[in-house]
A and B are shown apart, each in its own frame.
Chain A
Amino acid sequence: MAKKQTAKPVDSQLKEAFIDFCLEHGKEPASIYKFAKDLKMKEVDFYNHYNSFKALKKHIWADFLKETIENLYAEESFVEYSSREKLLALYFTLIEVLKANRSYAMMDLQMMRKGDLKPTFLEVFKKHFYKFIDEILLQGKETEEIIDRPVIGDRYSEGLWIQTLFILQFWANDDSKDFEKTDAAIEKAVNVAYDLMGKSPLDSMFDFAKFIFQNR
Chain B
Amino acid sequence: MSERKEQSRIPISKIQRASKFVSTGAKVGGNYIKHYSKKAFNPKMDRSQLDIDNAEDIYGSLSELKGSALKVAQMLSMDRNLLPPAYQEKFTMSQYSAPPLSYPLVVKTFQKTLGKSPDAIFDTFTKNAVNAASMGQVHQATKDGKKLAVKIQYPGVADSISSDLRLVRPFATRLFNMSNAELDHYMSEVEGKLMEEADYDLELRRSKEITEALAGKIEGLYFPKYYEEYSGGRVITMDWLDGVHLKEFLATNPSQEIKNKIGQALWDFYNFQFHELRQVHADPHPGNFMFMDDGTMGIIDFGCIKEIPEDFYENYFALLKPGFMQDKDEIDKRFKALDFFHENDSPSERKIFSTVFLEMIGMLSKPFQYDTFNFGNNAFFEEIYAMGERVSNMKEVRNSNGARGSRHGLYVNRTYFGLYNMLNQLDAEVKITKPSWLNGSTEKVA
Contact = CB atoms under 8 A, between A and B. Distances in A.
Interface in A31-90: 75-77, 81, 84-86, 88-89
Contact of B107 (A89, A178, A190): A89
A73 to B, nearest CB: 13
A195 B6 CA distance: 11
Contacts of A183: 105, 108, 155-156
B105 A177 contact: no
A81 B155 contact: no
A207 interface: no
A178 B112 contact: yes
B117 A75 contact: yes
Pick the most buried of B6, B104, B105: most chain A CB atoms within 10 A of its CB: B104
Nearest to A82: B103
29 contacts: A76-B119, A77-B119, A81-B104, A85-B102, A85-B104, A88-B104, A88-B105, A89-B104, A92-B104, A92-B105, A93-B108, A176-B156, A176-B159, A177-B159, A180-B156, A181-B156, A183-B105, A183-B155, A184-B12, A185-B12, A186-B105, A187-B101, A187-B102, A188-B10, A188-B12, A191-B6, A191-B8, A192-B9, A195-B8
Interface in B86-119: 101-105, 107-108, 111-112, 117, 119
A184 B156 contact: yes
Given A84-B102, A85-B102, A85-B103, A184 B155 contact: yes
A96 interface: yes
Interface string A88-100: 1100110010000
Contacts, number: 57
Given A89-B104, A184-B156, 6 more contacts: A75-B119, A76-B119, A88-B102, A181-B156, A184-B12, A186-B105
Contacts of A186: 105
B108 to A, nearest CB: 4
Nearest to A183: B155
A180 B111 contact: no
Secondary structure type dominating chain B contacts: loop
- 3 nearest CB pairs, A to B: A89-B104, A180-B155, A88-B104
A183 B102 CA distance: 11
Interface string A161-182: 0000000000000001110110
Contacts of B117: 75, 77
B106 to A, nearest CB: 10
A86 B155 CA distance: 20
A30 B312 CA distance: 71
A180 B12 CA distance: 13
A76 to B, nearest CB: 5
A85 B159 CA distance: 26
Contacts of A88: 102-105
Contacts of A187: 101-102, 105
Contacts of A93: 108
Nearest to A71: B111
Nearest to B7: A191
A183 B112 CA distance: 12
A188 B103 CA distance: 14
B432 to A, nearest CB: 47
Contacts of A92: 104-105, 107-108
A96 B109 CA distance: 11
Contacts of B102: 84-85, 88, 187, 190
Contacts of A191: 6, 8
B163 to A, nearest CB: 13
B114 to A, nearest CB: 14
Contacts of B155: 180-181, 183-184
A177 B10 CA distance: 21
Contacts of B101: 187
A93 B111 CA distance: 10
Nearest to A190: B102
A81 B117 CA distance: 14
Contacts of A190: 102
Given A180-B159, A187-B101, A187-B102, A75 B108 contact: no
Contacts of B9: 192
Nearest to A196: B8
Pick the most buried of B12, B103, B111, B112: most chain A CB atoms within 10 A of its CB: B103
Contacts of B103: 81, 85, 88
A167 B247 CA distance: 44
Interface in B297-331: none
B156 A96 contact: no
A77 B101 CA distance: 17
B104 to A, nearest CB: 4
Pick the most buried of B9, B12, B108, B111: most chain A CB atoms within 10 A of its CB: B108
A96 B111 contact: yes
A192 B8 CA distance: 7
B270 to A, nearest CB: 36
Interface string B115-158: 00101000000010000000000000000000000000001100
Interface in A88-143: 88-89, 92-93, 96
A76 B103 CA distance: 13
B446 to A, nearest CB: 53
A185 B105 CA distance: 11
A184 B127 CA distance: 19
B250 to A, nearest CB: 37
Nearest to B118: A77
Pick the most buried of B102, B117, B119: most chain A CB atoms within 10 A of its CB: B102
Nearest to A77: B119
A190 B8 CA distance: 10
Nearest to A86: B104
A99 to B, nearest CB: 10
Contacts of B104: 81, 85-86, 88-89, 92
Interface string B350-374: 0000000000000000000000000
Contacts of A89: 104, 107
